[in-house]
Every structure is written in structure tokens, then in C-alpha cells.
């Protein structure tokens, strides 16, 4: 039985004394096969341990039943959740999932094209591949950009600007309307550093303007990791020592930066959120566990993955067909109010 190679459809056909077409029909539950024949074939299949080659099948049908997901890295808080979202819809369609992290790959573009060559649809995270490559890819596969904007491929994302507005509103709104009434706010992050940060900063300013306020000082221009947050905290401390008034609230471009603040400022003698309120963005798991717990914006990452997968797999966004190319699905974020903005522990 074992001569090393996997049995092919022809082996089964011979074993069962039928044609390959019939075997093919059996593996597809084609009703036209009479019960007796079907049984003979199924027996042979079981006996030889046959399972159809995805390759051969793919070549013949021009479908791979595979969904590709391109992300910067295969770590971080987003990866698992996004993949799970995609998996949840892939399951229904019997589709496999192929993941690719570009950061580690020396020839990222090549790897992406390679991936495109073996998938029916591609989910690409914003910022991982250039617009030009996106164009080329979309000629062959169905490509969906997640967490980013593009005119050439359909898009699934959240509205970072609107979210930042809602967040900032909570900080500046008068107390009687459930806000904190802060008037001196500052932004932490480099607005020109990433599109996300830019949008968040823009929303921040918008809400400030709407409330008749101005930023109290330039954005603290730092990277996006915990370390940068810690650095910024020290810088803030120095400025304060040199006479600057502390802002009442610091709006951070993401949770990591906020964590950096949370772990550094107390050591410098500041009480949070009394001396300065801190907010994050993204709602990582840690946000609920930090001390004080972090007020932030929740991203529906799972849903992003699911919607993107649905689009990439058959052009359906979930609520009926939506036609690429101009498609732009915007999922709602949620303001998660915890302690670090000054709200008391419930």
C-alpha cells in the first residue's frame, strides 16, 4: 500500500474499477453517482487513505480556497485577533488561511506577490505594501486593505479622527455633561509619523477647536512604543521644572505611549490622574489592567478581520454585496472610559 507517494485519483479509480471522473464526482458529493458505485469508490478512498490534492484541484478550478493575510509582524496585540476574525468567516467557506509577516522578509514585495499567487483573496494591513504593488496585486486577486485608505482597493477600517474627537470631547466637556472640563490638553505622538497618528491628532485638534480651546503646547513628538512614552514623560517633567504649567490631560497617540507615561510619571512624583490625566488609543489587553486603568478607544479588530475576509473572499461585506473598487467599510470604535482620564473607579 505504501510506495511512498500519496495515492492519486487514478489510484482510486483503478482500485475501485471506475473512471477518474467518477471518483471526482464522489469526492464532490455529486448526486449523479449511483449508491453502489459510490460505495465502491468510498471504500477504495478509505482503504488507500486518499485525499484529493489541493494543488491539482486548484489548478483545475482556478481557485485555491485560501485566504492570504499580510501584516507587518506576526506578533503584537492585533495579529491574533485579526486572524481570528478572518478565520471566523473562513471557516464557513472551508477556506484555509495563509499568513505573512513582511517585517522579517528581506524581499517583502516578492513574498507578497508570491502569496497572492496562491490565494483567492488577500487581506493587507495598512502600511505593509505600497500603493503601486496594491495595484498590481488587485489585477490578479481580490485585495482588501485593512486599517488604511486606498482608492485602488476596497478598504475596511475605523475612523481614527472621529474616535479622537469623541475621546477629546469627553475630556473637555463640562462636568455637568459627564465630561471633565479640562482646558489644558496636550497631544503625545508624532502626527507626521503615521497616518493613524495624524488622524488622531487631527481629531484631537478638531474637538479642541469645537470647544473653543487651543492645544497647550506643541505635540510631544515621540515614537509609538512604551519607551518613547517613558522618554516623553521625562521631557514633560523637565519642562514643568523649567516653569511650564503641566497640562491637565495628555492625549496619547496609542496605548503603548500611555503605558510609558503610566509607569514613569508616578516615579517622578506625579499622581495619576489627579496631577495629569492620561488617555490611550487601541484598548490593548493591558489597558484594563494598568494602574490606573487606562481610558482609551477600543478598536474592533476581530470585526475588521471578519469584514475584510468576507470582502476578500467574495466581495461581500457582511450586509449584502458591496462592490469594490470604491468600497470603504468603516467600523465603529468605542470610547472606553476607565480611571486614567479622571473618572473614578466604578
Partner DNA sequence: ATGAAAGCGCTAACAG
Partner DNA sequence: CTGTTAGCGCTTTCAT
Q: Which does 174 bind (CB under 5 to 8 A by kind): a second copy, DNA, none?
A: none
Our finding on whether 28 is near a second copy (CB under 8 A) is no
CA dist 68 and 313 (Å) reads 10
The distance of closest approach from Cβ of residue 277 to a second copy in the complex, given in angstroms and rounded to an integer, is 22
Our finding on whether 8 is near a second copy (CB under 8 A) is no
DSSP state of 295: B
Our finding on whether 118 is near a second copy (CB under 8 A) is yes
Our finding on whether 22 is near DNA (CB under 7 A) is yes
Residues 6+ apart with CB under 8 A from 53: 6, 8
> In this structure, what C-alpha cell is assigned to residue 278?
492620561
Our finding on whether 323 is near a second copy (CB under 8 A) is no
Our finding on whether 105 is near a second copy (CB under 8 A) is yes
Our finding on whether 83 is near a second copy (CB under 8 A) is yes
Please, are residues 39 and 51 in contact by the beta-carbon 8 Å criterion? no
Nearer to a second copy, 67 or 163 (CB): 67
Among 17, 56, 209, 326, binds a second copy (CB under 8 A): 56
Closest CA to 158 of 283, 285, 277, 332: 332
Task: Give the CA distances from residue 191 to residues 37, 258, 311, in Å, rounded to whole numbers and listed in that order.
Answer: 68, 16, 30
- What DSSP line would sit under 206-269, residue for residue? HHHHHTT---SS--B---SSHHHHHHHHHHHHHHHHTTPPPPSEEEESSHHHHHHHHHHTGGGT
The alpha carbon dihedral of 97, 101, 104, 105 has a sign of positive
CA dist 295 and 168 (Å) reads 11
Closest CA to 120 of 339, 272, 314, 251: 314
Which one of the spans 96-104, 178-186, 209-217, 221-229 is the region binding a second copy (CB under 8 A)? 96-104
Among 75, 174, 267, 325, binds a second copy (CB under 8 A): 75
Our finding on whether 24 is near DNA (CB under 7 A) is yes
Which one of the spans 52-60, 123-131, 187-195, 209-217 is the region binding a second copy (CB under 8 A)? 52-60
Number of residues that bind a second copy (CB under 8 A): 47
The distance of closest approach from Cβ of residue 121 to DNA in the complex, given in angstroms and rounded to an integer, is 17
Q: Which does 24 bind (CB under 5 to 8 A by kind): DNA, a second copy, none?
A: DNA
CA dihedral 193, 196, 202, 207 (to 10 degrees): -140
Please give the residues from 249 up to 308 whose contact with a second copy meets the rule CB under 8 A: 286, 289
- Neighbouring CB atoms inside 10 A of 172's CB total 20
Which one of the spans 32-40, 134-142, 162-170, 216-224 is the region binding a second copy (CB under 8 A)? 134-142
CA dist 145 and 117 (Å) reads 17
The alpha carbon dihedral of 46, 48, 54, 57 has a sign of negative
Nearer to DNA, 37 or 316 (CB): 37
Our finding on whether 141 is near DNA (CB under 7 A) is no
Our finding on whether 117 is near a second copy (CB under 8 A) is yes
Which one of the spans 27-35, 180-188, 289-297, 301-309 is the region binding DNA (CB under 7 A)? 27-35
Which one of the spans 55-63, 86-94, 252-260, 316-324 is the region binding DNA (CB under 7 A)? 55-63
Task: Give the CA distances from residue 343 to residues 123, 254, 340, in Å, rounded to whole numbers and listed in that order.
Answer: 38, 19, 7
Residues that bind a second copy (CB under 8 A): 2, 6, 49, 51-56, 58-59, 64, 66, 73-76, 79-81, 83-84, 87-88, 91, 94, 96-101, 104-106, 111, 113-118, 136, 139-140, 286, 289
Residues that bind DNA (CB under 7 A): 5-6, 8-10, 17-22, 24-25, 27-28, 32-34, 36-38, 50, 52-53, 55-57, 59-62
Amino acid at each position: 500500500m505504501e510506495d511512498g507517494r500519496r495515492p492519486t485519483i487514478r489510484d482510486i479509480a483503478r482500485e475501485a474499477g471506475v473512471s477518474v471522473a467518477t471518483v471526482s464526482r464522489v469526492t464532490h458529493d455529486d448526486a449523479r453517482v449511483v449508491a453502489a458505485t459510490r460505495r465502491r469508490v468510498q471504500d477504495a478512498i478509505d482503504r488507500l487513505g486518499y485525499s484529493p490534492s489541493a494543488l491539482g484541484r486548484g489548478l483545475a478550478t482556478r481557485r485555491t480556497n485560501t485566504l492570504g493575510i499580510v501584516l507587518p509582524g506576526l506578533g503584537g496585540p492585533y495579529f491574533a485577533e485579526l486572524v481570528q476574525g478572518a478565520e471566523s468567516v473562513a471557516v464557513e467557506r472551508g477556506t484555509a488561511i495563509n499568513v505573512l509577516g513582511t517585517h522579517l522578509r528581506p524581499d517583502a514585495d516578492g513574498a507578497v506577490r508570491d502569496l497572492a499567487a496562491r490565494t483567492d483573496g488577500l487581506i493587507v494591513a495598512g502600511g505593509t505594501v505600497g500603493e503601486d504593488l496594491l495595484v498590481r496585486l488587485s489585477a490578479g486577486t481580490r485585495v482588501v486593505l485593512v486599517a488604511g485608505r486606498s482608492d485602488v482597493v476596497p478598504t475596511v477600517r475605523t475612523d481614527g479622527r472621529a474616535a479622537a474627537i469623541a475621546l477629546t470631547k469627553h475630556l473637555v466637556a463640562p462636568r455637568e455633561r459627564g465630561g471633565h472640563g479640562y482646558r489644558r490638553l496636550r497631544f503625545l505622538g508624532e502626527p507626521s509619523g503615521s497616518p493613524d497618528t495624524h488622524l488622531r491628532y487631527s481629531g484631537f485638534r478638531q474637538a479642541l477647536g469645537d470647544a473653543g480651546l487651543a492645544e497647550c503646547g506643541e505635540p510631544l513628538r515621540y515614537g509609538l512604543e512604551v519607551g518613547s512614552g517613558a522618554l516623553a514623560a521625562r521631557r514633560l517633567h523637565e519642562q514643568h521644572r523649567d516653569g511650564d504649567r503641566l497640562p491637565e490631560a495628555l492625549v496619547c497617540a496609542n496605548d503603548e505611549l500611555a503605558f510609558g507615561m503610566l509607569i514613569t510619571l508616578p516615579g517622578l512624583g506625579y499622581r495619576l490622574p489627579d496631577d495629569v490625566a492620561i488617555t490611550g488609543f487601541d484598548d490593548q489587553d493591558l489597558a484594563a489592567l494598568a494602574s490606573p486603568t487606562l481610558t482609551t478607544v477600543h478598536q474592533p479588530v476581530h470585526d475588521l478581520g471578519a469584514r475584510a475576509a468576507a470582502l476578500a473572499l467574495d466581495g461581500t461585506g457582511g450586509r449584502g454585496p458591496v462592490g469594490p473598487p470604491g468600497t470603504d467599510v468603516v467600523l465603529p470604535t468605542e470610547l472606553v472610559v476607565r480611571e486614567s482620564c479622571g473618572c473614578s473607579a466604578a
